């Protein structure tokens, strides 16, 4: 079955006819060619596929694209300014070496961005708890926590 | 994932009709359990009936001495709701302990209890508070709702619309998380209210159940020590790679005592 979906992705309206079973992450990567959103586990565990749907961080591998019909979606590509200036959270990950291979990073950054305004003066413990849906196999998390703390304060 | 027909009913009646008589149809709430199961080949549904567009299924209302939470209300919204935090803080804590932030942003109360995963959190609150499950057909008492492993009293075509939770005098929830999945290895919800003392246990058996021994102890003496002193049999409890039945039997009074302390 084909369904029509319309959503705003990174500020731009997109409309497409897709198979009803299309996952949001596949719509983003395969149809829109926005490959910054990664697929790590494809089983809703790792968080690499995290994007925002109407301002909320969600795992796009565990949602149908049709469930985001009519929504505003933000992916990692939507964070930097038009002139390429990084979003403060991206800049903080760079500054604090919050990444090594970078595979988890788009999801980490999108997940962390949702905390902006929600966790002012977050403690390390709160940040770790809040990032529970995002896994990193490289960094050991220390620098991710530092980066998120700085990004939230920026 | 398999090909699907996606239905977008505009009324409860239409949604129920689409489900009745079609064994391969499932309601779609947040999809956090259903889509995950379909992707793993554990659910062969061919038709999904999206409840998202139905009116009045999401939201939280205070109604006298009860809090009524719509079936499509997401875990994150229950966790953050001011009325829930004020009147039944243990329920807000429970909702905020489900999975991770991304899952809580999508998963719903109705989906969780309809799914009746033996290690899920909400069943402990529904039974532990003696809530009432409202459907498009009737009201179901908590004690009659969960009937077994992934099984509930819901009939084919029956849709949960809301859960009505009585406001207790005191309540607490503590779970011992399975570290990787965050589901309950064991979770214990205790409450004291007009209906007496209730102690509901999730994660330990095929379905949520009331721990009668702990209830009796707490009815006589509402204290952490009284809960902890209870000895439970490991018969009929789960043994798996995470924990033996004996370990789970040991955890129940321990967590119940912590829940009493948390209840204040
Ligand atoms: C990574 C991960 C971690 C998780 N950790 C936890 C955890 O720690 N604790 C926990 O409790 N849960 C956990 N969950 C499960 C989560 O809470 C789900 O959100 C919940 O179990 C299902 O809710 P849903 O809205 O996504 O329902 P769906 O997946 O859409 O539906 C689940 C089932 O319920 C049926 N259904 C849905 N709504 C209704 C309704 N209104 N009436 C009748 N039937 C209905 C559907 O047909 C389906 O069979 C986790 C999930 C994931 C992916
Ligand atoms: S790819 Fe979606 S959570 Fe891992
Ligand atoms: S930087 Fe490699 S997985 Fe996180």
CATH number of the domain bearing residue A60:
3.10.20.30
Residues of chain A with pLDDT under 70: none
Structure confidence at residue B179 as a pLDDT band (50, 70, 90): confident
Residue A33 sits in the same domain as residue A70: yes
Partners of B1 on chain A (C-beta within 8 Å) are 21, 23
pLDDT of amino acid B180: 84
Alpha helices in chain A (DSSP H): 24-26, 88-95, 105-114, 124-130, 142-153
- Among A78, A113, A133, the domain boundary falls at A78
Query: Chain B residue closest to A66 (CA)?
Result: B6
Question: Which of A40, A41, A44, A48 to mutate to test ligand 1, by most ligand atoms within 8 A of the CB atom?
Answer: A44
Q: Do residue A99 and residue A43 come from a single domain?
A: no
The pLDDT tens digits for A121-151 are: 889 999 999 999 999 999 999 999 999 999 9
Determine what percent of chain B is predicted with pLDDT higher than 70.
Answer: 100
Q: Do A44 and B31 touch (CB under 8 A)?
A: no
CB of B96 within 8 Å of a chain A CB? The answer is no
pLDDT tens profile B71-96: 999 999 999 999 999 999 999 999 99
Measure CB to CB from residue B3 to each of A21, A42, A67 and give the nearest one.
Answer: A21
**What pLDDT does residue B233 have?**
95
Minimal-distance CA residue to ligand 1 atom 12: B120
Q: Is A68 a member of any domain?
A: yes
Residues A121 and A148 in one domain: yes
- From the CB of A45, is ligand 1 less than 6 Å away? yes
CB contact (8 A) between residue A47 and residue B100: yes
| Cα(B52) to centroid(ligand 1), Å | 14
Shared domain for A95 and A67, answered yes or no, is no
Residue A129 lies in a domain: yes
Residue of A nearest to B52 (CA): A67
Residue B261 has pLDDT above 90, yes or no: yes
Cα–ligand 2 centroid distance for B8 (angstroms) = 26
Disruptive mutation site among A27, A44, A135 for chain B (greatest number of B CBs within 10 Å): A44
Q: What percentage of chain B has pLDDT greater than the value 90? A: 96
pTM summary value: 0.97
Together in a domain, A95 and A48:
no
Residue of B nearest to A127 (CA): B101
Distant-in-sequence contacts of A34-38, Cβ < 8 A, 24+ apart = A34/A9, A34/A10, A34/A75, A34/A77, A36/A75, A36/A76, A36/A77, A36/A106, A37/A75, A37/A76, A37/A106, A37/A107, A38/A103, A38/A104, A38/A106, A38/A107
User: The domain spanning residue A100 has which CATH number?
Assistant: 1.10.150.120
Residue B21 banded pLDDT, cuts 50, 70, 90: confident
Q: Please check whether residues A114 and A50 belong to one and the same domain.
A: no
User: Measured between alpha carbons, how far is B182 from B132 in angstroms, rounded to an integer?
Assistant: 26
Q: Domain check: are A59 and A96 in the same one?
A: no
Q: Are residues A148 and A121 located together in one domain of the fold?
A: yes
Please give the pLDDT value at position B181.
85
Domain contains A15: yes
Q: Which domain does A139 fall in, by range?
A: 88-153
Reported as a single tens digit per residue, the pLDDT across B135-154 is 999 999 999 999 999 999 99
pLDDT value of position B195? 87
Domain end, chosen from A55, A78, A101, is at A78
Per-residue pLDDT at A119: 83
Mutate to test the pocket of ligand 3, among A138, A143, A144 (most ligand atoms within 8 A of CB): A138
Judge whether A55 lies within some domain.
yes
Q: Can you give the pLDDT at residue A27?
A: 98
- CB-based contact B5 A1, cutoff 8 Å: yes
Q: Which residues contact B67 (CB under 8 A, 6 or more apart)?
A: B60, B61, B83, B84, B87, B88, B91, B164, B165, B167
Domain final residue, candidates A48, A78, A108: A78
Residue A139 lies in a domain: yes
Same domain, A101 and A72: no
Q: Which domains are delineated in chain B?
A: 5-166 (3.30.465.10), 170-263 (3.30.390.50)
Q: Is residue B47's pLDDT more than 90?
A: yes
Same domain, A71 and A11: yes
A132 lies in some domain: yes
| Kind and range of the H or E run holding A74 | strand A72-74
In a domain, A21, yes or no: yes
Same domain, A17 and A35: yes
Q: Distance between CA B71 and CA A78 in Å, rounded?
A: 33
Same domain, yes or no: A14 and A42: yes
Domain count, chain A: 2
Average pLDDT over residues B207-231: 97
In a domain? residue A83: no
Ligand nearest to the CA of A48: 2
């Amino acid at each position: 079955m084909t369904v029509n979906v319309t959503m705003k992705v990174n500020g731009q309206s997109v409309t497409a006819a897709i198979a009803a079973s299309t996952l949001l992450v596949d719509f983003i990567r395969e149809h829109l060619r926005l490959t910054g959103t990664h697929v790590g586990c494809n089983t809703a565990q790792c968080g690499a596929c995290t994007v925002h749907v109407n301002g909320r961080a969600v795992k796009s591998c565990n949602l149908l694209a049709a469930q985001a019909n009519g929504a505003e979606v933000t992916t990692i590509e939507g964070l930097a300014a038009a002139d390429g200036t990084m979003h403060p959270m991206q800049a903080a990950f760079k500054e604090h070496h919050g990444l090594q291979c970078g595979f988890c990073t788009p999801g980490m950054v999108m997940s962390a961005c949702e905390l902006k305004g929600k966790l002012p003066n977050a403690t390390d413990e709160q940040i770790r708890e809040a990032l529970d849906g995002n896994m990193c196999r490289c960094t050991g998390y220390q620098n991710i926590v530092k980066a998120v703390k700085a990004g939230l304060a920026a | 994932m398999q090909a699907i027909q996606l239905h977008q009913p505009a009324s409860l009646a239409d949604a129920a009709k689409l489900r009745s008589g079609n064994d391969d149809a499932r309601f779609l709430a947040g999809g956090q359990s259903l889509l995950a199961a379909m992707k793993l080949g554990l659910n062969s549904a061919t038709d999904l009936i999206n409840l998202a567009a139905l009116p009045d299924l999401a939201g939280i209302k205070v109604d006298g001495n009860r809090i009524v939470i719509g079936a499509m209300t997401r875990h994150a919204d229950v966790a953050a709701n001011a009325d829930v935090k004020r009147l039944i803080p243990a329920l807000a804590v429970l909702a905020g302990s489900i999975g991770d932030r991304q899952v809580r942003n999508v998963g719903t109360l109705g989906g969780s209890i309809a799914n009746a995963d033996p290690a899920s959190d909400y069943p402990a609150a529904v039974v532990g508070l003696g809530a009432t499950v409202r459907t498009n057909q009737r009201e179901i008492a908590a004690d009659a709702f969960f009937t077994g492993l992934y099984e509930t009293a819901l009939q084919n075509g029956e849709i949960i619309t809301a859960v009505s939770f009585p406001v207790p005098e005191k309540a607490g929830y503590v779970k011992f998380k399975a570290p990787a999945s965050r589901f309950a290895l064991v979770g214990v919800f205790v409450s004291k209210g007009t209906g007496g003392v209730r102690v509901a246990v999730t994660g330990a058996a095929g379905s949520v159940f009331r721990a009668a021994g702990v209830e009796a102890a707490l009815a006589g003496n509402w204290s952490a020590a009284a809960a902890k002193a209870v000895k439970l049999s490991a018969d009929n409890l789960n043994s798996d790679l995470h924990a033996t039945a004996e370990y789970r039997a040991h955890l129940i009074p321990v967590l119940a005592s912590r829940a009493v302390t948390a209840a204040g």
